[in-house]
Amino acid sequence: MNAETKKRLIEGGVDVEGALERMLGSETLLLSLLKKFVKDGNYEKWLISMDARDHEGAVEAAHALKGISGNLSITELYRLFSKQVEELRAGRWEEAQAMRPQIMEAYERATGAIRELET
């Protein structure tokens, strides 16, 4: 991984050092998993559930995204999904809804940086 790639990922919200530690230093594995994250269906499910005010579906998707973003050290996204899972579990739907733009922004920032790697 060159310095430029690493810089872009960090700007996208990925704690590259932390993530590499989890991958036992394997950059190949990290890059491969980040690409899989972009294609992961849970984000779609989350968007649809939030639109449909499907409480259960939203918790499931947010919880899954929390786990994945945590393991990939996409730090800000992990923090936001963790908070949203708590709000949803506590039945605070409006608060959870209010987090939506923030979460979408962090998600776009991360996936945008990752997509650039493919070229």
Partner 1 sequence: MSNKNCSEKQEREDTLLIIDDDEINREILYHIFAPYYVIEQAENGEKGLDFIDANVERLAAILLDVMMPGMNGIQVLNHLKESGVLDMVPVFLITAENSDKVMEEAYQLGVMDVIKKPITPYIVLRRVQTVIELFQARRRLSSQVRMQQENLLAQTEKIVLLNQGMIEALATAIEFRSEESGNHVRRIHDITECMLSKTPMGEGFSQEEIQDIALASILHDVGKIAVPDSILNKPGRLTPEEFEIMKTHTIQGADLLDHIPQLREHNSYRYAYDIARHHHERWDGKGYPDGLVGDEISVWAQVVSLADVYDALSCKRVYKDAFPRERVLSMIRNGECGVFNPELLSSFFSVEEELSKLYVKGEM
Number of residues that bind partner 1 (CB under 8 A): 27
Residue 76 · residue 13 · CB < 8 Å: yes
Residue 114 · residue 34 · CB < 8 Å: yes
The verdict on 68 binding partner 1 (CB under 8 A) reads yes
Residue type, 89: R
Q: Choose, by CB under 8 A, the member of 22, 55, 79, 83 that binds partner 1.
A: 22
Q: List the x/- string, 69-98, binding to partner 1 by CB under 8 A.
A: -xxxx----x---x--xx--x---------
Residue 4 or 25 having the CB closest to partner 1: 25
Structure tokens at 44: 């779609």
In angstroms, the CA 106 to CA 78 distance is 10
Residue 75 or 102 having the CB closest to partner 1: 75
